[in-house]
Amino acid sequence: MGFSKNVLSGAAVAAAFALSATVVPMATAAGNSSATGGGTTEEAGATSTFVFNAVRGKNGNVTGHLVYHVRGWPVTIMMDLDCLIVEGNTAKMSGVVTQVSEEYPGLIFVGQDATFMVEDNGQGANAGPDMFSDLFLEPGASCDDPRLGTDPFVPYLPVRGNIQVR
């Protein structure tokens, strides 16, 4: 798959999954929307890993993080998430890149806005794989972008791991 100036295929580092697992039970118990997950997917000729968590607080503010390691480039991207929209079994999230292992001027850099989507396809042997979208990097990227959910802005990368959308 080729990469454009505004798109980075993908997923990131599963070690932070423990953080998302500790935040979500408290948030969902309070009835707040949330999306968490971690796993691997194949892209750019290699296995990418990711972990993320986003929770909408009682005050409406969203907090969360994404850690995403694309071995095919190779690059690791860390983001603070500040936007979450849950629609059924999908979640749209966005925020700002806070760290990168290597900057790609004009595409991947600290301070760059980015957005992505995930799809929770249930649990158990009969459930299909959860899905992860590309990471869209562009100025002003936001989870309320009307392009999210339309091709090519859809979750299409099958995940070996688990995504929870509530």
Looking up tokens 């806070």 gives: 98
For residue 75, give every residue at least 6 positions away whose Cβ sits within 8 Å of its Cβ, in sequence order, or none.
8, 69, 100, 101, 102, 104, 108
Beta bridge partners of 93: 84, 116
Query: DSSP code of 20?
Result: H
pLDDT in tens, the chain (166 residues): 333 334 443 333 333 333 333 344 444 445 799 999 999 999 989 999 999 999 999 999 999 999 999 998 889 999 999 999 999 999 999 999 999 999 888 889 999 999 999 999 999 889 999 999 999 999 999 999 999 988 889 999 999 999 999 9
Say if residues 158 and 129 touch (Cβ distance below 8 Å): yes
